[in-house]
Structure 1
Amino acid sequence: MNVLKVLSVLILSLKPALCFRNDIRVQILTMVDVIRSYERPSAILANVCYDISDIKILAKELMQVNGAKTFQLVENFSSIEKFKGDGMVILLDLDCLNSGKILEDASQNGKFQNPYRWLLFSSELEWEAIMKSFENLSILIDSDVTVAYNMKSNGTILQKVYRIDSNSKIIPEKFATWSVEDGLSIETEAKRPILMRRTNLQGKKIGISLVTIDNTTTKTDIFILKDLVKDNLAKSSFHNVLPLYAFLNASSEIMFSNTWGYYINNTWNGMIGQISRGEADLCGTVTFMSERRSTVISYLTQPIKIQAKFIFREPPLSLQNNLFYLPFRTTVWISCGALMVLIFVVIYVNAKWEAMKLKVDNNDPSILKPDVSDVAILVVGAVVQQSSYSVLQGSRGRLVIFLLFLICLFLYTAYSANIVALLQSSSDQIRTLSDLLESKLELGVEDQPYTRHYFTTATEPVRKAIYESKVARTGYKPNFMPVEEGVKKLQNLDAPFAFHMNTGLGYRLIEENFLDHEKCGLREIQYVQSGVPWLCCRKQSPFKELYKIGLARILEHGISDRVNRLIYTRKPSCNSRSGSFGSVNMTDFHPVLLCLLYGIITSLLLLVIEILVYKRNNENKMQQKNDVDDRASEASLH
């Protein structure tokens, strides 16, 4: 391979028509080898001071590189700015007069950042002069700028350059050397990923913004994790990020905010506002993803696998249903009703037959008369396990009555057993937000800035209805409360309650305060649609990819898992339901009381009707008697 390169140089030097100077020959071969070492460059833009024949040779050689699809000559920065896409390589001849202007424009427009890759070369300038030309350029840590100088046939030096921030010095990295004999020789260290070579930020201060709700929280509180309830999100997030500073050899500059940050009056407030203004570079508290926030921040990772949800204990079954309908299915109820009607008909026919065929005393109250009301009372009495004074006299009739009472006994036993079981059962019918809205549960929300924002700005019909009819009812104070108060109300099953809170912290309090049987039947319903919260950084942060690498390592090494287990708790397991037996309350048997009340009202109405009918009949009888007396008097006078 080396012999071929030497021969190619000799052959090119023997072609006087090409006017191919030795330094240009070296430049072209060097650039081709460097670009070949890149991973599939898609487009190559070049600003070179070559004549047309040299440019043709350059284009021909570059287009033979695997992956190269486009070669374009550019004269100024505006020509470069038209091209967009990954894998772009920009060749710039520092010996050209307009190279300084192109570099300044690229710096001002952020074109040294990923995904742009620059290959700068010069045969005339010394290294010190090249470094001096970079003094005011924003070639930051996420840039990929390679400088080739001292471009001679016996050895070209290539170095990558970057600076930690706009005020720091340019840091050179030895990348490779090139010669006609050996070609491109890349340094062993340079073969590592470019960002992994730049993890030493030399103690740079990186601002981090934390959301703290309690005004008494200090930097010391954030570090020592003494009170895990107070500002737990800020503490858990910061301790997930803290190892990142050691990974980058950077120092933290902590600042506080009292809210996450929302777009109000054309500006961002809170933590997002500090990030967007450049006061901080890193979010110290996880935040929910939103489309509007993505315009000023970049989301990095999800170190805290907790969510904000409604948590509630399964309410008693009687709160959602009438228990006295549930023991039998609808088909069983219909079958039982049809059976009672059939038995009623059979008993009535037997009573009618006995009255016609048997000589019975009609004045004997113990004999069942062929009357609809008497037979109905007998059947109803059997259903409710009450005996009857009147019975049939024949053997067939008595057999029918015996079967009636036996069937009702079995039905009553099955019904009673089911009622006892249902009285101790809980309902699993609340599974969605719509179910929650229609349920009889009282709702409460953890008092946090983000919960107030998401609940008050909800536009989706069900979520909006939940806030307006359950959380902030007209004429009442909105039901926002501290997490401790909400968990305490959640424990009382006599007043069923659903509480929207940070599940990690909420389950920790439940684990500490609930009895074993009270941890059973815990349900979750998600209200906030954003899901698991994210760590974030400034949108144009040069450290963004370094943050992602560092945070990924923190996750891989189990540090995040350890922090989360120190602060949060997973959903408690249900180990025993033995202590869950509860007394029957008014909610359980209020249908029976309603039935009794309706019965009393009906009986009183019937009593009133009977009294009115009785009085009317008496009046009619008196009127008829008076009429008879009057007619008799008139007859005696005549």
Structure 2
Amino acid sequence: MWIQFKVSYNVNTLLCYFINATQQFRLTHSWGLLAPNGTWNKDSMIDRIRQRDDEVNGVGLVIMKHRMSAVRYLARTSKSRASFIFRMPALSYVSNILRLSFQPNLWVGVGILALLMLAIIKFLFSFEVKRNASKDRAYNIESLSLQKSWASMSVFLVGSFCQQGVEKEPEGVSGRVGTFFVYLAVLFLYTSYSANIVALLQASASIETFEDFTQSPLKAGLLDFELSRILFENSTNPIRKQIFDEKVGPKGYYNYAKGVEKIRKGLFAFYAEPGIMFHVISKTFEESEKCDLQEILTPGEFSALFHATPHKSPYIEVFRNG
């Protein structure tokens, strides 16, 4: 934003040259804060223009509804904006990656497959018990009879999914082939699930809207600047107010160096002018860390700075033509 101040100074210099006037600058401590009783803080820029102590502002002003009655805006001085910049957090910080490994439809398919395998194994085990009983192979009938119940089959299937063995296995060809394919299917599922977990551990979360931002674990900070307090701490915008109450707090104001440092540590978003922030980032961040940066604008964000003059100033048309 300091670049915009330099632009405003040059615009004022050209404007005074155009109307053959002499510049006389006065330093103020504030742009202008409106008190609850409707008065502006004394000697602020808005207050001095409103009372015609100054005919035009020396640096650009952001258009705000409550300022419209105090000053008259003339023309845009320069483009300007502010935004939240942060490093994209790991996906595991935002979502439950144990559920994200498979799509919901695939989880349904896994459940159907498990029921199908349970029915097939139940049939194969029951068939082998009956076949052994018909051949008078009593040594195996007792053990298989214990396993042919639905509860035993469920324990067998859970053991398969957990890659654990069972106490007794079928001895017939059909039962062993069925058991082999159950283990094979579970092996493929387990391998795919593990591979997706590893991939998701290395992925970054997607935070593109303010709904994503407010629901994320990111903390936030604001540039220690009067405009930040106006836009957030004293804002009537519900989203900005929510951000300040839930993520910033009354002690969440930092300078550029501290704010960028906290961005680098992760899980922190800093609100300031992007140009200056990226200048500081270029000096402190590693190249790999810059790849994680994300920028998000707040609703109703300002996009330009304007010159202003008193409502009854005799120089309004002169300034406009200039």
The normalised TM-score by structure 1 is 0.46
Note the alpha carbon deviations across 1:269-310, whole angstroms, 9 max, x for none: 311111112222221222221233222322233343221222
CA distance in 2, matches of 1:252, 1:348: 95
Correspondences of 1:52-63 after superposition (within 5 Å): none
2:13 maps to 242
CA distance in 2, matches of 1:497, 1:454: 19
Correspondences of 1:543-554 after superposition (within 5 Å): 543-550=315-322
CA distance in 2, matches of 1:457, 1:375: 65
User: 1:532 offset after TM fit, Å?
Assistant: 1.6
- Of residues 209, 223, 228, the one that matches 1:431 is 209
1:416 maps to 194
Tell me, yes or no, if the aligned pair for 1:456 and 1:467 is still in contact at 8 Å. yes
Bigger radius of gyration: 1
User: 1:360 offset after TM fit, Å?
Assistant: 5.0
Correspondences of 1:257-336 after superposition (within 5 Å): 257-264=28-35, 265-269=37-41, 270-336=44-110
Provide the aligned C-alpha RMSD in A. 2.7
1:499 maps to 270
Tell me, yes or no, if the aligned pair for 2:161 and 2:186 is still in contact at 8 Å. yes
Tell me, yes or no, if the aligned pair for 1:365 and 1:390 is still in contact at 8 Å. yes
**Do residues 379 (structure 1) and 152 (structure 2) align?**
no
Note the alpha carbon deviations across 1:206-259, whole angstroms, 9 max, x for none: xxxxxxxxxxxxxxxxxxxxxxx9x66544532454343344443321111111
CA distance in 1, matches of 2:241, 2:194: 42
1:541 maps to 313
CA distance in 2, matches of 1:420, 1:396: 36
Tell me, yes or no, if the aligned pair for 1:306 and 1:503 is still in contact at 8 Å. no
1:357 maps to 131
Gaps of 5+ in 1: 1-228, 551-638
CA distance in 2, matches of 1:410, 1:341: 17
CA distance in 2, matches of 1:514, 1:545: 49
Correspondences of 1:86-165 after superposition (within 5 Å): none
After superposing the two structures, state which structure 1 stretch, 484-493 or 453-462, moved more: 453-462
Change (3 A) 1:368 1:406: farther
User: 1:541 offset after TM fit, Å?
Assistant: 3.3
**Do residues 395 (structure 1) and 167 (structure 2) align?**
no
Structure richer in strand, relative to its length: 1
CA distance in 2, matches of 1:308, 1:461: 18
User: 1:323 offset after TM fit, Å?
Assistant: 0.5
SS in 2 for 1:267: coil
1:404 maps to 182
CA distance in 2, matches of 1:533, 1:436: 25
Note the alpha carbon deviations across 1:173-229, whole angstroms, 9 max, x for none: xxxxxxxxxxxxxxxxxxxxxxxxxxxxxxxxxxxxxxxxxxxxxxxxxxxxxxxx9
**Do residues 479 (structure 1) and 252 (structure 2) align?**
yes
CA distance in 2, matches of 1:304, 1:368: 83
Gaps of 5+ in 2: none
Tell me, yes or no, if the aligned pair for 1:367 and 1:391 is still in contact at 8 Å. no
CA distance in 2, matches of 1:273, 1:528: 28
2:283 maps to 512
After superposing the two structures, state which structure 1 stretch, 343-352 or 511-520, moved more: 511-520
SS in 1 for 2:26: strand
CA distance in 1, matches of 2:11, 2:291: 31
Change (3 A) 1:469 1:391: same
Change (3 A) 1:250 1:405: same
CA distance in 1, matches of 2:157, 2:144: 16
Tell me, yes or no, if the aligned pair for 2:80 and 2:305 is still in contact at 8 Å. no
SS in 2 for 1:379: helix
CA distance in 2, matches of 1:506, 1:373: 63
Tell me, yes or no, if the aligned pair for 2:79 and 2:305 is still in contact at 8 Å. no
User: 1:365 offset after TM fit, Å?
Assistant: 6.9
User: 1:410 offset after TM fit, Å?
Assistant: 1.9
**Do residues 460 (structure 1) and 237 (structure 2) align?**
yes
